[in-house]
Structure 1
C-alpha cells in the first residue's frame, strides 16, 4: 500500500462512518511535506496550512486517509516512479496506471478509499481514470481552488476528484467546491443532445463509445472538432514552459529520475515564439469548442485512443505521449471534462468515455455522466 498511499494521522472531527479520501502529493496538508513524489523534494518543510480543497473536504466531513503517490513532479503519463514505487493498475497489474495522478486512481480502483483528489494539467486525472477503470473529473479551469497546490502558478492545471460511482464523485466535488450544485448534478432525465467527435482511436474503443451512446438513448451526431491536434501540440508547449519555470531548478540537484531530468531539460528549450503560437491556438481552439457546444449539451469521445500499455513496454521506451492526444486539448481550452469507464467487447479492461461540457457547466457534465452510468449498469 505504501506505493499507493502514504498514510497520515489527519482526519476530520468525526471519522465514524465518514467517507474516505486520499490527496495527491502536490496538494498541501498542514504538518506534512508536499514532495510531489520526488527525491529532490523529500526534505521539503511541512506545509503550514491545508490547501483550500483539503480544508473544504474536511469541513464537509471527509476523512483524509493520506497522501496519494504520483508520477514524479506531475510531469509524466505512465505513473511509473522508481523512487516512491509505481501504484498498481487495478484492472491489470502488468499495465501502467497512467499519470500523473496514478496513486489517486489506483487507490480508488482498489477500494482503499471512497474518493481521491488529483490534478489535471495535461490529462492527469482523466488519463489515470481511464487506465484504472474509475471515474475522474477535470473541472472547468478556475472552478476549484488551487491555493496550496503545486505548481503554484498554472494556466492549465485543475484539482478534481476520482470515484468509483457518480454519486460519490458528485459528493467529492461538492466537498471541494462548496458552490457545486449537487441537485443539478443528479441524473439527467430530459432528452440529451450529444456531438460525438470524430477521432483516431482503436476500433474496439470507438465501438465501445458508440455502444454507450446507443444504450443511453441520446440524440447524437458526429462532428469534426477543428484544431484538436493543434491544441494537443500547443498544450505540450505550455505545460513544458510552465513546468520548467516551476521545477527546472531541481535538475541541478541531481536527484531527479532520469525520465524527469530529460523532460525538464527539453522543456527548458521551449521558446517564446512557441508559446506565442500556442496562445493563438488556445484562443482559436477554445472558440471552436464553444461553437461545437452551442447547440448540443456535451461532446463525447474516447478518453484515451488505446488501452494502457504494459509497464514493461513503457520501461523499454514505448512512447506514451499519444495517450494525451484527446484529453490535453481541453486543458488548453479550460472546459470541464469527465472520464467514465465503459466496457470494451472482447477485453477484460474498460476504456474511458470522455464527456466535455460548457465552461461552468460541471454539474451538467456530471448529470449526463450519471445518465450514461445508469444506462451502462455500472
Structure 2
C-alpha cells in the first residue's frame, strides 16, 4: 500500500496547524510585550511581594488603573451664533474686519481647529474697534448691530479659550490613556514659557469678560507661540503618565499598608526582636528605603509642581464646564476628596505610619536599638 499520498496530505495539514499555532503564539507574545509592566512598577511590586512573603500574607498585583480623558463629544459648550447680513457687511468699506470675517466664511474657515477658532474670535474683537469707530457716524444701524455681535463675542471669548486649551486634540493626546509610569530621566512639568503663555492668554480672556473697554492684546504677537505650545502638548503623553503613576502608586502603597496593619502585634508579640522581624527589617531597609522611596521622592518632587500648574490652568477659567470634564478635573484638584494628588499624599503618610508602628513594636525604629 502506498502511504505517501496519505502522509503528504497529513503532513500538509499538520504544517498548516503548526503555522497557525506559531502565529497565535507570536501574536500573544507581541501583545504581552506591548502591555509589559513598567520597570518602575516592577520595583514597587517586588517590594510588596517580599513584604507579603515575610508577613505570610497574600498579595495580588492589581491591574493598572486607566484614567481616560473625556471624549470630544462630551466637551461641548453652548455658544451663540451671530451673523451680520452679508450685503450690509460688504458695505463696511474701509473696515479690516471684512477680511477677518471673510477668512472665517471660507472653506478652510469652516473647518477651523478649536485653537484657530479662538484666535479668530480674538482677531475679530481686535478688528472690530476700528470698524465700530468708522460705522458710528457712517451707518448707525449697522453700528448697533455690530456692537451687539461684539458684546456677545467678548462675553464668550473665555469659552473659546477653554475649548482651545482643554477641548482640543492636543490636551486629549497629552492626557491619553497609558500604562507607562514616569521615568526618572524625563522632565515632567510644562516648560515655564509654555505655562506662562497659557496663563497669560487665560487671564486675558477673563479681563476682556470683566472689562468691556479693556485694550485687547495683539493677537499676531501670540498666534505662533500659542500654536507651538499646543503642538508640544500634542506630542507628549506626560499627563497620562502622571495620572497612571500617582494612581497606581496610591493603590500599591495602600495594599502594603493593609498588610502591615494586619500584622501588628504578630511579628514581635513579646516586644523582642524575632528572626522574622530581622527579615522584615531587611525588606524595609533594602527594598523600601533602598529602592521604592527614592522613586517616591522623585514622584513627589516632580509631580507636586505639575499638579500646581494644572490646578492654576484649570482655575483660570470661571465658567460651567461639561459634566464629563468636571469629573475629570476633580482628579487634578489639589484639595478635592477625589484628587489623585491628595489621595497619594495620604497613602504615603499611612504607609509610613504603618512601618513606624510595626518597627516600633520590635524595637527596630532608628535610634530604638
Question: How would you bin the TM-score normalised by the shorter chain?
Answer: under 0.3
Greater strand proportion:
1
Return the structure number with greater relative CO, CA threshold 8 A, min gap 6.
Answer: 2
Greater Rg over alpha carbons, structure? 2
TM-score, normalised to structure 2, is 0.22
TM-score normalised per structure 1? 0.22
